Structure 1
Amino acid sequence: MTRRPNVVLIVSDDQGPWALGAAGNHEIRTPVLDDLAARGVRLERFFCASPVCSPARASMLTGRIPSSHGVHDYLDGAHVGTASRDHLADQPTLTDALADAGYRLGLSGKWHLGASDVPRPGFVHWYALEGGGSPYRDAVMYRGGAPEHVTDYLTDVIADDAISFIDAEQQHEAPFFLALNFTAPHKPFAGQHPEEYTALYRDCAFETCPQEQAHPWLQTLDAAPIGGEADTREALIGYFAAVTAMDAAIGRVLDRLRVHGIEDNTIVVFLSDNGFSCGQHGFWGKGNGTFPMNMYDESVMVPFIVSAPRMLPAGEVRDELLSAYDLPATLLELLRLPHEGFETGPGRSFAGMLRGDAPAGTEPADRAVVVHSEYGPVRMIRTADRKYVHRFPYGPHELYDLAADPRERTNLIDDPSRADEVARMRRMLTEWFAEHARPGADGAALPVKGSGQIRPLAGDPLGAFGAPVWDGASTSSLP
């Protein structure tokens, strides 16, 4: 009997959809990921469920939207110890399904969904970052339940741990699943990365990151964009260097699959948790880089590559609109495992599209060609050529004609000629969230301001959310 394929799921942190050579960026150097795309399928329009890390990652694992799984902002407060908790406890996850199918599970890197010191069920290997972010040479990792202070370059430390897991798994007959979760290219940027990578960008023109006029909703801290740093050029050098260093680290992990002769029986997926702007639209960051929180494509789109020799075609680029809430069902179907349990909400498998079973331009069954994102009371519906953003309770709302205005420069919400279009998209959005939101977890009335979620939702969501109100004058680091 042929063993099921192994799975390596690689997640970067705050990588914009533009920050990839294979996506057309002529300045950033990502030869490993570019080669992975050449050997697999790259999705040009893949969206996160929320433009901030914790809810985005929760949706990847559950196939649910934040208004169903209850994580609406990056998780703040205690990450380890008795004061912390597993925010996905009692919710079915992709990893639960894999463990039930006999997979041996490993985590190397960022978790940021609570209880980082406690391995989740099914994990035989657990090496997790304590919180949501850290300097690259001063991090606290938890191996099992024990802390380790790491002073070596964190990207390489995470990759080395993943390699050790792959090596150790060769003595077992069961297939493995590896969650390889980097902190790169998340800030801090300047002075954090090896010289061999920063040197590549000292003379870079950064044409792919134009520093536009400050966005009117830009949030600042100490006169710098809240998602960036005071020295913009050094921040750009650091961001690009972080991506290239991560690319090299991924290369070492993939090389290990080849050494063990298991590359042809391993599905490799690469994506980011959420997008990021490095000056595009006049701000740095993702959804919480502005207030009101934004839903620009740079924030809600992410790079996505999947390679599976013998199973998927090579060198294909697809432009269907797909979302992180589709990921669990898709991976399980590719593995020929039951996936219907992750299609009871909005998620639908797009495995057939990846394999080429579905004609180009078709969407997953039973769903219109739209995707949705949310960030607390901010909700978005995105079609191939339109985007509508609704902010509870009072707005401001936005409508963009993406066919005529792909860079989202002209808000048409007050254009009388668009009134019927606004009404139609608002109705579609309202009906979709009415179908998929869960009472007690719905974010429409939550005071989410991009300043962190301290406590999980409970019976009274407004009273239990626990997000500190941020007035723009001070903040902690925004993971």
Structure 2
Amino acid sequence: MAGKKPNIVFILTDDQGIWSLGCYGNHEIRTPNLDRLAQSGVRFQNFFCTSPVCSPARASLLTGRIPSQHGIHDYLSGGNGGCGQEAIEYLRDYRGYTDILAENGYTCGLSGKWHLGDGRKSQKGFSYWYSHQKGGGPYYNAPMFREGEPVNEKGYITDVITDEALVFIDKTKNRENPFYLSVHYTAPHSPWVNCHPEEYMKLYKDCLFESCPQPPPHPWAKTEVLDGYKNSRECLTGYFAAVTAMDHNVGRIMIKLEEEGLAEDTLIIFSSDNGFNCGHHGIWGKGNGTFPLNFYDSSVKVPFLVSHKNHIPENRVCDAMCSGYDFMPTLLEYLGLKNEEADNLPGKSFLSSLMGTEGEKANPVVVFDEYGPARMIRDKRYKLIHRYPYGPDEFYDLEPDPGETYNRIQDEGYKEVIGRMKKQMELWFLQYADPRVDGSREPVMGGGQSFLAGVLGPGINVYGENK
């Protein structure tokens, strides 16, 4: 991009399924500001997280590396530096795109969830730092770090995260160099019941919640973890309220940019770390909502909206297959910045898809996903899930079965395509996985990670129990 680089606002939510936005077809949930953002730019229909749980997915967005390269394989239950935890800087040895932005004159600010270790300490090129002490928690009295000191915020944390983001914009708006702002909400992560402002809760008093069917629990569901199995209506009300409250705050940021005359100079990106099931497939939760860990589209597909007034096409829908590990190379190409490590990273820029200039591709694009010893390969029609070392494995033909209802792994009619996709997946991970932190060798059960992967040696379980 010639001339002065644009400001960037990257808004990331926590546990938000692609189904939970009006612009993605949900007729019940109220997200007017995000719907307006989608109309002003490009809405991606097939954007996938790199792992269906928060910390590894966020680390991949930041570094362009898959979990089997950066070593964060589960949500970080330890090492966050707050609430009595020790401080581990998990990504100390890996460059993030914010490092590159800072090196090229950007002033980088974070407001909200970090959950990548040592949350007290500003990292990765950030000079403004307001972060969560852990990865989630209550919406009132949330444990945060302000200027490196632990505080409990009395206000509604979605509002407070936005307040801090607006402070950062005020501090940097008149500087000669551009700013980058990460606004990382904890919404709509649990808890949901009796913890959101009444003005949002009452919007869903009479909602039928047709967008969230409640079939019997999945055979693998961890029904003891979330209240949705027992109190689905109360939890749905809270989840929807959390989304709408977050949407209101996104509107506050958009209005601020417009009032300050920054809208045309600012690239706005909205996404979530991973998907979420609110009863979908008989599951409440994400990839670790079941054991074995799952890769349903509702767990791995996330919203992805991009807008830059007069620079990016408006009101456009993109069907390209993209992943979180493609985000870093795309952003850097859009900005005209180089990454010296690009050749060793798996991601490819989807800028041509974003701008609507892509041509026909000779080979179908696939995306890969991993969660510890479980891996997924997915193209527009087929999905294969392989679990090391013993399975169970799954295969879905999404053309006749978009709801992923029928596991065809034993179907002889799909034997050839299953074999081809399995080989393709094995070769891809062989090319990019670092043997020192290869997730297929780690006993990840979905109960959290508390130490650096690979540091304690092979076979040492640094992951939480399945709970």
TM-score when scaled to structure 1? 0.94
1:284 and 1:245 map into 2 onto residues whose CA distance is: 21
Aligned equivalents of 1:121 and 1:210: distance in 2? 41
AA aligned to 2:349 is S
Q: Deviations over 1:176-225 (max 9, x none)?
A: 0001000000000111111111111010000000001210001122xxx5
In the TM superposition, what are the counterparts of 1:22-421 in structure 2 within 5 Å?
22-80=23-81, 83-221=86-224, 226=226, 228=228, 230-339=230-339, 341-359=341-359, 362=361, 368-421=364-417
Match of 2:445 among 444, 449, 465: 449
Q: Specify whether residues 227 and 404 from structure 1 end up closer, same or farther in structure 2 by C-alpha distance, changes over 3 A only.
A: farther
For residue 128 of structure 2, give the secondary structure of its aligned residue in structure 1: strand
AA aligned to 1:77 is: G
Q: How high is the TM-score relative to the length of structure 2?
A: 0.96
Count of matched residue pairs: 464
- Is the 2:96–2:124 contact (alpha carbons within 8 Å) kept by the matching residues of 1? no
Q: Give the distance between the partners of 1:74 and 1:216, measured in 2 at CA.
A: 23
Report whether the alignment pairs 1:10 with 2:11.
Answer: yes
Q: What code does the residue aligned with 2:122 have? A: P
- Give SS of 1:319's match: strand
* Secondary structure at the counterpart of residue 29 of structure 1: coil
Determine the C-alpha separation between the residues in 1 that align with 2:146 and 2:229.
31
Contact conserved, 2:73 with 2:449, CA < 8 A, in 1?
Answer: yes
What SS does the aligned partner of 2:441 have? coil
Q: Distance in 2 between matches of 1:362 and 1:286?
A: 32
User: Residue 389 of structure 1: CA displacement?
Assistant: 0.1
Cα distance change of structure 1 residues 335 and 41 upon mapping to structure 2, 3 Å threshold = same
- By how many angstroms is 1:61 displaced? 0.5
- Deviation of the 1:463 alpha carbon: 4.0
**8 Å contact kept, 2:446–2:464:** no
For 1:450 and 1:357, how far apart are their aligned partners in 2?
40
Give the whole-Å Cα distance in 2 for the aligned partners of 1:67 and 1:465: 16
Q: Using the alignment, how far apart are the partners of 2:367 and 2:428 within structure 1?
A: 10
What is the DSSP-based 3-state SS (H/G/I as helix, E as strand, rest coil) of the residue aligned with 1:444? Answer: helix
Aligned-partner SS, 2:144: strand
CA contact (8 A) 1:456 1:464 kept: no
Deviates more, 1:81-90 or 1:348-357: 81-90
Q: Does 153-162 or 335-344 show the bigger shift?
A: 335-344
Verify the 8 A CA contact 2:398 2:404 in the aligned structure 1.
Answer: yes
Q: CA deviation at 1:465?
A: 4.9
Structure 1: gaps spanning 5 or more residues:
none
Task: Give the distance between the partners of 2:99 and 2:367, measured in 1 at CA.
Answer: 25
Cα drift, residue 415 of structure 1: 1.2
Please, what is the CA RMSD of the aligned residues?
Answer: 1.6
2-structure distance, mates of 1:469, 1:196: 38
CA separation of 1:68 and 1:186: change in aligned 2, threshold 3 A: same
Note the C-alpha offset of 1:36.
0.3
Identity %: 50
- Structure-1 separation of matches of 2:97 and 2:460: 27
Return structure 1 stretches of 4+ with deviation > 3 angstroms: 225-230, 339-343, 459-465
| Equivalent pair of 1:387/1:401 in contact (CA under 8 Å) | yes
Structure 2: which 5+ runs fail to align? none
| Whole-Å separation in 1 of the counterparts to 2:70 and 2:89 | 12
2:440 is paired with a residue whose SS is: coil
Query: For residue 151 of structure 1, what is the amino acid of its counterpart?
Result: K
- Counterparts of 1:217 and 1:227, CA distance in 2: 16
> Measured at CA, do residues 461 and 65 of structure 1 come closer, stay the same or move farther in structure 2, by a change above 3 Å?
farther
Cα distance 1:143–1:362, how it changes in 2: closer, same or farther (>3 A)? Answer: farther
Report the CA distance between 1:343 and its aligned residue: 4.8
Cα shift at 1:302? 0.1
